[in-house]
């Protein structure tokens, strides 16, 4: 009769991980965890029946899916500065230190950032002064002297 060896389960886990990398979704990750656990369990208890191996595989896969679901969702929707300001270009500038291209006179001036020109408001300063962006309103940056 055919005997299942522990590394068969690990080979199945490796194939499932390859599927996980190639296909969308996260289903194969949970199945791979279940297969790896079934292989580990078979390594510890070498005379385990195929029914108990499959039960271990199924139970661990379901437990992994339920247990890791919240963690994966949190990682997917983490407040990443790169994605949270993707469509709010001005918000990405808050806290950034910039150099004035033109002086701020009577509380108003302009600065060029990347490929855009922004109005700035703040205390009067000379051209070349370093300022920190403290807030954004439309296309206007409120700045303060940088430390």
pLDDT, tens digit (0-9, with 9 covering 90-100), for 22-80: 998 888 999 999 999 999 999 999 888 999 999 999 999 999 999 998 888 887 776 55
Question: Distance of CA 86 to CAs 22, 89, 91, 97, 133, Å?
Answer: 27, 7, 9, 19, 18
By CB atoms closer than 10 A (0-12, 13-18, 19+), residue 107 is exposed
pTM of this prediction? Answer: 0.53
CA–CA distance, 64 with 38 (Å, rounded to integer): 13
Tokens representing 100?
């004035």
- Predicted confidence at residue 83, as pLDDT, reads 52
- Predicted confidence at residue 25, as pLDDT, reads 81
Residue with the bigger pLDDT between 82 and 69: it is 69
Beta strands across the sheet bearing 116-121 = 97-99, 130-137, 140-145, 116-121, 108-113
Across the range 2-7, mean pLDDT stands at: 87
The share of the chain scoring above pLDDT 70, in percent, equals 91
């Amino acid at each position: 009769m055919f005997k299942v060896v522990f590394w068969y389960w690990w080979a199945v886990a490796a194939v499932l991980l390859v599927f996980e990398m190639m296909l969308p979704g996260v289903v194969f990750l949970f199945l791979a965890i279940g297969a790896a656990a079934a292989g580990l369990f078979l390594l510890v208890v070498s005379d385990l029946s195929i029914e108990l191996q499959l039960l271990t595989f199924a139970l661990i896969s379901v437990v992994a899916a339920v247990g890791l679901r919240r963690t994966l969702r949190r990682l997917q929707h983490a407040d990443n500065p790169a994605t949270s300001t993707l469509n709010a270009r001005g918000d990405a500038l808050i806290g950034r230190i910039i150099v004035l291209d033109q002086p701020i006179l009577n509380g108003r001036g302009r600065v060029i950032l990347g490929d855009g020109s922004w109005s700035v408001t703040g205390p009067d300063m000379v051209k070349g002064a370093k300022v920190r962006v403290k807030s954004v309103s439309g296309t206007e940056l409120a700045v303060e002297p940088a430390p």
